[in-house]
Structure 1
Amino acid sequence: MAEDAAGPPQVGETVLLVTVPEAEPLVGRWRQRYDASAAAGVPAHVTVLYPFLERARIDDGVLGDLETLLGAHRAFDVRFRSCARFPDVLYLAPVPDGPFRALTEAVTGRWPEAPPYGGRFAEVVPHLTIAHDQGLSVYDEIEADLTGRLPVTARVSSVRLLVRDGTQWHERAMFPLGR
């Protein structure tokens, strides 16, 4: 989730994401300094869909649909071997990224009214944001620090639903992926 990609989050906004606790020791201190979502309570993650539905629309039916939809996808292993950049973001690139794309496509297929990042981008690139809206020298410093400490390997076995209360993000539900 990049707060720079769709404007600042609003009260009641929601996000579906995959947390990557294995990356925290590597990127946590950088994210605290340079990623606004970290200060708002979001751990290292790869976004599945932001923004998702408004909190008021999330009822038992939506939660049940998410459980079924996401549970149909198998758990998978991922490696973060290198840093990459968008013009205003430094991130870790997941390999493979296809399973993340499949999760996003499944959710947007069910809820087409919730396009990724509000429809701002033609292609969604799965990524774990480390820093955004910084200068090239900051990105270079972070990348130099991380390069010799990669890769990070993780098991992706669930998707989490978080809700924004105005200042912080809070987990509302967790959906296991199939085994």
Structure 2
Amino acid sequence: MPAPGTSALVVELPAAAGLFEAAVAVSPALVRPGLPPHVTALYPFLPATELTDEVDAAVTALAAAHEAVDVALGDLVVAPGFVAAAAPALQPLADAACDRWPGVQPYGGRFGAHPPAHLTVAMGGSDEQNTEVTKLVEQLLPLTARAEALHLVVLTEQGWQLRLTAALATPAR
């Protein structure tokens, strides 16, 4: 579990709430409280003590350099204790965040410098729970969710708190 002062860059996908609901139906403990369905662009991000106006401006610039996009969620990634929906449409944004802050190792370096963009549906479950969640979620897929903003969130004693919302660019029409 992350410690207070941890921050993250995330893209919320409220339209994917049904996926979380499916996991909660199996066990509420499978869904981490405090954040709506989201794809992580960079976690952990900078410690809260290092978040400055300059960092906020860099996050805003990063978001402005990427267009709002429809995110197709269709392929599941299942591993021991983990069920996620792949979100390849957000890979360019996640990669850009990792490139912009190369000193920050996403997920502590466990999945390389550019981990695959995904929406975690369930975490910490048994194989049986993963199987149940997978069956329920497969009934809801594919689905498309609109990504419109990059959020900088910080974990406090009270839970995850929003520090900044930076709009993604409006696609040219």
Q: TM-score, normalised by structure 1?
A: 0.85
Does the Cα contact within 8 Å between 2:23 and 2:31 map onto a contact in 1?
no
The structure 2 residue matched to 1:75, chosen from 64, 68, 71, is 68
Which residue of the partner structure matches residue 80 of structure 2? 87
What do you get for the CA RMSD once the two structures are aligned? 1.7
Structure 1 unmatched ranges of 5 or more = 1-7
Match of 1:105 in 2: 95
Partner of 1:61, secondary structure, is: helix
Question: What residue in structure 1 maps to residue 130 of structure 2?
Answer: 139
1:54 CA displacement: 0.7
* Contact 1:28–1:44 (8 Å) recurs in 2: no
Partners of 1:132 and 1:26 in 2: CA distance:
13
> For 2:121 and 2:97, how far apart are their aligned partners in 1?
25
Bigger mean CA deviation after superposition, 127-136 or 49-58: 127-136
Residues of 1 paired with 2:107 and 2:94: CA distance?
Answer: 11
Structure 1: distance between partners of 2:116 and 2:131: 21
SS in 2 for 1:175: strand
Q: Secondary structure at the match of 1:92?
A: strand
Aligned partner of 1:126 among 117, 120, 129: 117
In structure 2, which of residues 3, 7, 21 is the aligned counterpart of residue 28 of structure 1? 21
Among 33, 41, 64, the residue aligned to 2:57? 64
Q: 1:90 to 1:44 in 2, by over 3 A?
A: same
Aligned partner of 2:3 among 6, 10, 14: 10
Query: Residue 149 in 1 paired to residue 144 in 2?
Result: no
Task: Look up the SS of the partner of 1:169 in the other structure.
Answer: strand
Q: Distance in 2 between matches of 1:127 and 1:26?
A: 13
Instruction: State the partner residue of 2:162.
Output: 171
**Quick one: percent identity of the two aligned structures?**
32
Count of aligned positions: 167
Report SS of the residue matched to 1:42: coil
- For normalisation by structure 2, the TM-score amounts to 0.88
**1:48 counterpart residue number:** 41
Please tell me the residue identity of whatever aligns with 2:5. G
Moved segments of 4+, more than 4 Å? none
Q: Write the distance in 1 (CA, Å) between the matches of 2:158 and 2:3.
A: 9
